[in-house]
Structures are given as C-alpha cells and as structure tokens.
Chain A
Amino acid sequence: MLMMKNIHKTYHAGKPNAFEALKGIDLEIEEGEMVAIIGKSGAGKSTLLHVIACIDSFECGTYQIGKLSVDSMNEHNLAEIRNELIGLVMQDFALIEDFTALDNILLPLEFASPKKKNRRDLARNALQEVGLTECANKRVSYLSGGQKQRVAIARAIINDPAVILADEPTGALDSKTAQEIMDLLKSMNHRGKTIIIVTHDMEIARQCDRMIEIVDGQLRNA
C-alpha cells in the first residue's frame, strides 16, 4: 500500500542551522493496517507523517502509494493525492472556525476533479458516520474539541481515501473523548481504511496493530 525507501529530509539545508529530521527512512505499510508512529518530541515523527501526507517534501529516497511514485510527481499530482488518496487529521483540527461543520467537510469535495454531483449528501453521510448529524449547520467555533475532531475525521474520509493520517489526533482532548476518537478511527480501520497515527501516548499506540518508533530520524520497530 505504502512504501518508502531511504527517505531523507533536512530542514534549512545548506545553512548553518541545517537539521536532518529524517535519516534514511525505510517504511512499508500494508493496506488495511493500523499503525502507530511513536517517538520523543523532535524525533521526526510529525515530519515523517507530513512527508507521507505529501504536505512536506523530501530530498532523496523513493516513496510509493499503491502504484503511484510520489517522488517524481509535480505539484498538480501531489495536490490530487492529498485530495483523493489521503485524509489528514491534525492535533489542532485544522478547521475553518467560521465555516459550518458541513462547509468544512465539503472542502475536499469542492477541490476534487471531476466534481461529484451529490456533494452535500456525501457530506451529511460523513457527518452521520462520525455521529455529528445534528451539528451540520453549526459553526465550528461553537463545537467542543471532541466534536471538532469528529468534523476533521469526517472531512478526512469524505473523498473515500485509501489512507487516513492522524497527527496526534487525541493530543488536545480529554481521555474519554480521546478514546471515542480512537474508537472512531478503529471503526474506519475495520472498514478497510489504512490508518497511520502519530502519537506520544502509549495508551493510544497500543490500540494499533503495529507500533513503529522513530529515534533521531531513524525508524525502529517497537
């Protein structure tokens, strides 16, 4: 499903403050797996997730999603991957607070090409899947942290992506709500989605099929 070989990523390359965040990452994740990437703060786990999500670049190495080779793609194709193949859930939700929940969920559908005709119905279905039907027309700023994260998950699954990436999805939530979000991600996984979660919380990581530890930019099976 997802294969990386010898991925290197350096911040501020060529400058005195250059910092190599990923040092030759080799990673293979099968379709339908639920994987946790763990590691200390600054170890490179978020950087790895962002490279997987195609929102950050890398200097060398090869990266494949399915049969698509990401390393040779242009900006247009990378945007298509972010839109169609990957759903991203961020710790701070990355929602537009002044939009309604429905409008936030609609964004990936609006950017998709060709545009689907029943976009609002699809968005309502996604909200139903995360159990937030009643909040469809509420502005995100009025929702609780847990509800916001559910909206973010609904947005991540709206285009029916193969992979859902979650960067500390429970980091801003209390333990009860965090477990609800984990249950939601697990249910997505049971329906065949590949889930990759970055977390420093071992409770969360243990609920995944596999844990991968990243130490100083290098992977180690935990």
Chain B
Amino acid sequence: MIAKLAWKNLFLNPVMYVLMIVQMVVIYFIVISMTSSVLSRFSYYLPFKEELKKDGTFYSFFYAADPDTGLVGTTTDALSEKLKGDPTIAASYLAWLYYPEQKGERDPIFVSMDEFWLTVYQPEMENGHWFNELSRNAAAIPIVVSQNEEGISVGDIIELRAFGTEQSVNCEVIGILKEGARILSYQIPSDGKTSCKNLYQNYYYTVEQTPLFILPQPALDTNVVNTQLHGSFMISYPENASEQIKEENHAYLTKMTAHCKITFPDLYRNSMNYIFEQCKTLSPILIAVLIMTLVCTMSVNALSVKRQLYHYAVYYICGLRWKHCVFINLLTSLYISAFSLLLTIILLIGSQQTVFLQESVISLGIWQIMLCLLMMLIYLGFSIVLPIQLLQGITPNTILRSN
C-alpha cells in the first residue's frame, strides 16, 4: 500500500516532479562530469601503477644505434644480453618497413612494441580491437593502423616490405585507431618533470598527415625486419641489483642515445604531483558543486515534503502513522532519484555520439555510477530526515488548516 501511494504521489504533482527529475538529472550530470574530470587525471598513471613500485628507470630513445657496432638493428633479446644485473626490459622500436601501396605524400611510421607496452594500455579504437594475439606463429601479423588515405580497414590483409631484405611481411589489420586516440608516445620530452601524462600523446592523422602502423615486436621475424630502438623504454631491476650495475647499464644506454632518463620513484612522484596539482585546481569547483548539490538536494526534498504534507495529514486521519508517511516520502524520492539516474545514463550514452562529448573527458564508469549512487543516498537521507523534522510535534489539523 505504501509503495502504491508513493507511486500515486508522483501523479498528484506531475509538473513539480518533472522539475525535480530535471534537477536531479543536472545534479547527476555534474557529479559524473566532476568524477570523470578527476579520474582523467589518474588515467595516465593507473596503467603504470604496479610497474612504478619496482626499482627501475624509464628512458626515451631517439633512433638508437648499438654503441659497439654502430649498427641500428636492435632486438630486446640482444639488448637483454648486453645489460647487466638480469634486468627486465620493455622496448619500443621503429620497424624498417614500407608500404608499397602508399598513397599519401608522407611515409608511414611503423612502430613495433614489446608485449608490456601493448598490454599496459589500450587506445580507443574506431573499428576492430587492440592486440590480443602477439604470437609470431600466426599466418599474418596483427597490425593496428591509424586513420589513413590508403583505405585500409579492419580485416584487410596488407603486404609490407622490409627495407634491405625486400622480403614481404603479411599483416592482418585488426583495428583502426580512433582519430585523436591517446596512444603511448614514441617521442617523450626530457624536461626532468616527466610524469606519466608525458608517456602519451594524442594521434591525429589529420594533423600529422602520416599513417601510423603499430605492430607487436614479438611477432616480427627480426631476421627479416630490421628494428631500431626508438621511443619509450623501461628497465626494471631485481631487488638485489647494485647501484654500480645500474650505473653501468645507464652508461651503456646513454651511449645508445637515451635522451631522457627518469627513475621510477621520480616518475611516480612527478605523476602524483601532477594529479595533486590538477585536483588542487579542480577543488574549488568540486567544493562549489558539492555545496550546490547539497543545497539543491535539500531544497528539492523540502519542496516535495511541503507539497506532500497535506496528503500525509489526510492519510493520518484515515489511520496511517507518521512513520508510514515518512516511508511514502522515501519511496517517492527513490522513484524520482532512480528514474533520474536512469535518464541521465541514457542521455549520456546518447550524447556520447555527439561531437561535443566525444572530445570531452566525460565518461561513464564504475566510479561515476558509485558517486551518483552516493548522491542518491544523500538525497534519500534528506527525504527521511526532512519529513521527520517537519512532522515532529505537529497535528494533522494544523497541516490541514494551513492548506
């Protein structure tokens, strides 16, 4: 009966409840926007969270050459043998390939990456998917391509040629990067303040005019395709690695043109500083929004309860207790807040198809939903407290007379 009356309440003041739903949708949207805004600052750091707990160093290479031979060909296995202290390394390379069917003026960039870089972060795709098959046993090497003028699309088998050997390398296009997708950068600045944010870049084909081809390094036959160390490189050491070994390795890597060096603790500290600075910038807005949200929630509730008091007084003289009236109010609020949340989610999903939201950081994830649910709980809390306060020590006759 209480649930039925709460439902009926919604139709007693439809205009007011529509306005309340609009208000709640706005509140949820603000909460989702603010949460997305804060989370976007964390999103650079989170993929590297576990790695940065280790003892290691991040480098960035620029067309590296072997310091002993002067040759540019490098592989992860070969490099591992030359470095001391049994470190774990994750490298990215330029693959010496070309595309015979190139149509654009600029030569495509062929980037091959070790498994770590391919699995630590997945860029946004327009079509297809990111790498989940890194094996070199596949008939065609999986490849992800940026937007391009060549008309390459998902499912195409394309033939690449290796410089020097002129041998063919068959690749299957498994995904097309979204225009402006955030990818792990292969050109890292060396300003000493490098944070995890600097490990990424947004790739716009329309700006670069150069198609980007990303391949898994483990799938390449390095006897056929020459690869040159270039871009992001990570080295991490076992716990007992001495400082001397680290210095020797660093000296060797520096000779290979490593132009940016930052230790994991420094990268972690810089990343935290970045997040803290960003949150500090956002905090006045966050606090203002929080206060506004609370005020809105209270006013919406007060308005609703005030309107409903007359009905509650009628229910009371017909044999209901105030306690039940509070439950009716709670359920009415639950219907409104749940429907508003559903509407917000539908509107947001719909809006994400628009250009405006595609370019923004606003997204819908578990944290956004959790905070919306928290907001709903606050709203429901007020919808219990307010009628209790208003009905305390009041008689139904007083309410009926005042209406």
Q: Which of A's residues lie within 8 Å of B, judged by CB?
A: 46, 50, 53, 55-56, 75-76, 79-80, 82-84, 88, 90, 92, 94-96, 98-99, 107-108, 110-112, 155, 159
Q: Which of B4, B310, B317, B397 has the most CB of A within 10 A?
A: B317
B306 on interface, CB distance cutoff 8 Å: no
User: B11, B310, B315, B321: which contacts A107 (Cβ < 8 A)?
Assistant: B315
Tally inter-chain residue pairs, CB-CB below 8 A.
61
User: B4, B311, B321: which contacts A96 (Cβ < 8 A)?
Assistant: B311
* A88 B314 Cβ-Cβ under 8 A: no
A contact residues around B317 at 8 Å (CB): 53, 55, 82, 88, 90, 94
Q: For the complex, give the distance between the alpha carbons of A125 and B239 in Å.
A: 88
Q: List 19 A-B contacts (CB under 8 A).
A: A53-B317, A55-B395, A75-B321, A75-B323, A79-B319, A79-B320, A80-B319, A82-B317, A82-B318, A90-B400, A94-B400, A96-B310, A96-B311, A98-B11, A99-B12, A110-B1, A110-B5, A111-B319, A112-B319
* B397 A50 Cβ-Cβ under 8 A: yes
Identity of the chain B residue whose Cβ is nearest the Cβ of A106 in the assembled complex: B318
Q: Which of A46, A76, A80, A99 has the most CB of B within 10 A?
A: A99
Interface size class of B (residues with CB under 8 A): 20 to 34
Nearest-neighbour CB distance to chain A for B399, whole angstroms, equals 10
Identity of the chain A residue whose Cβ is nearest the Cβ of B11 in the assembled complex: A98
B313 on interface, CB distance cutoff 8 Å: yes
B contact residues around A159 at 8 Å (CB): 319
Instruction: Known contacts A50-B397, A55-B395, A75-B323; decide if A83 and B318 are in contact (CB<8 Å).
Output: yes
Identity of the chain B residue whose Cβ is nearest the Cβ of A111 in the assembled complex: B319
Q: CB within 8 Å of A: which of B366-403?
A: 395-397, 400-401
Q: For the complex, give the distance between the alpha carbons of A81 and B402 in Å.
A: 25
* A111 B395 Cβ-Cβ under 8 A: no
B200 on interface, CB distance cutoff 8 Å: no
Q: For the complex, give the distance between the alpha carbons of A119 and B401 in Å.
A: 30
Instruction: Known contacts A94-B400, A107-B314, A110-B1; decide if A83 and B395 are in contact (CB<8 Å).
Output: no
Identity of the chain B residue whose Cβ is nearest the Cβ of A80 in the assembled complex: B319
B121 on interface, CB distance cutoff 8 Å: no
12 other A-B residue contacts (CB within 8 Å) besides A50-B395, A55-B397, A82-B319:
A50-B397, A55-B316, A82-B316, A90-B397, A92-B401, A96-B12, A96-B314, A107-B314, A110-B1, A110-B4, A110-B5, A112-B319
B contact residues around A50 at 8 Å (CB): 395, 397
* B397 A56 Cβ-Cβ under 8 A: yes
* A111 B323 Cβ-Cβ under 8 A: no
B contact residues around A56 at 8 Å (CB): 395, 397
B contact residues around A112 at 8 Å (CB): 319
User: A46, A83, A99: which contacts B319 (Cβ < 8 A)?
Assistant: A83
Q: CB within 8 Å of A: which of B312-350?
A: 313-323
Nearest-neighbour CB distance to chain A for B3, whole angstroms, equals 12
Q: For the complex, give the distance between the alpha carbons of A155 and B395 in Å.
A: 20
A contact residues around B318 at 8 Å (CB): 82-83, 107-108, 111, 155
B contact residues around A80 at 8 Å (CB): 319
Nearest-neighbour CB distance to chain A for B395, whole angstroms, equals 5
Q: For the complex, give the distance between the alpha carbons of A75 and B323 in Å.
A: 10
Q: For the complex, give the distance between the alpha carbons of A155 and B311 in Å.
A: 15
* A111 B315 Cβ-Cβ under 8 A: yes
Instruction: Known contacts A96-B311, A110-B1; decide if A46 and B321 are in contact (CB<8 Å).
Output: no
Nearest-neighbour CB distance to chain B for A36, whole angstroms, equals 19
B contact residues around A92 at 8 Å (CB): 400-401
B contact residues around A96 at 8 Å (CB): 12, 310-311, 314
Identity of the chain A residue whose Cβ is nearest the Cβ of B316 in the assembled complex: A55
A contact residues around B11 at 8 Å (CB): 98
User: A76, A94, A110: which contacts B314 (Cβ < 8 A)?
Assistant: A94
Identity of the chain A residue whose Cβ is nearest the Cβ of B311 in the assembled complex: A96
Nearest-neighbour CB distance to chain B for A69, whole angstroms, equals 19
Instruction: Known contacts A55-B316, A96-B311; decide if A79 and B12 are in contact (CB<8 Å).
Output: no
Q: For the complex, give the distance between the alpha carbons of A46 and B400 in Å.
A: 13
Q: For the complex, give the distance between the alpha carbons of A16 and B215 in Å.
A: 86
B contact residues around A88 at 8 Å (CB): 317
Q: For the complex, give the distance between the alpha carbons of A95 and B400 in Å.
A: 10
* B321 A76 Cβ-Cβ under 8 A: yes
Instruction: Known contacts A55-B395, A94-B313; decide if A108 and B319 are in contact (CB<8 Å).
Output: yes
Q: For the complex, give the distance between the alpha carbons of A99 and B11 in Å.
A: 10
Nearest-neighbour CB distance to chain B for A116, whole angstroms, equals 13
* B314 A95 Cβ-Cβ under 8 A: yes
B contact residues around A107 at 8 Å (CB): 314-315, 318
* A79 B400 Cβ-Cβ under 8 A: no
Nearest-neighbour CB distance to chain B for A30, whole angstroms, equals 24
Q: For the complex, give the distance between the alpha carbons of A107 and B319 in Å.
A: 9
Q: For the complex, give the distance between the alpha carbons of A140 and B311 in Å.
A: 14
A contact residues around B316 at 8 Å (CB): 55, 82
A contact residues around B321 at 8 Å (CB): 75-76, 79
A contact residues around B1 at 8 Å (CB): 110-111
Identity of the chain B residue whose Cβ is nearest the Cβ of A84 in the assembled complex: B319
Q: For the complex, give the distance between the alpha carbons of A80 and B321 in Å.
A: 9
Nearest-neighbour CB distance to chain A for B398, whole angstroms, equals 9
* A111 B314 Cβ-Cβ under 8 A: no
Q: Which of A50, A76, A111 has the most CB of B within 10 A?
A: A111
Identity of the chain B residue whose Cβ is nearest the Cβ of A56 in the assembled complex: B395
Nearest-neighbour CB distance to chain A for B42, whole angstroms, equals 49
Nearest-neighbour CB distance to chain A for B394, whole angstroms, equals 10
Produce 1/0 per residue, B230-241, CB < 8 A to A.
Answer: 000000000000
Instruction: Known contacts A75-B321, A75-B323; decide if A55 and B315 are in contact (CB<8 Å).
Output: no
Identity of the chain B residue whose Cβ is nearest the Cβ of A49 in the assembled complex: B397
Q: For the complex, give the distance between the alpha carbons of A95 and B318 in Å.
A: 10
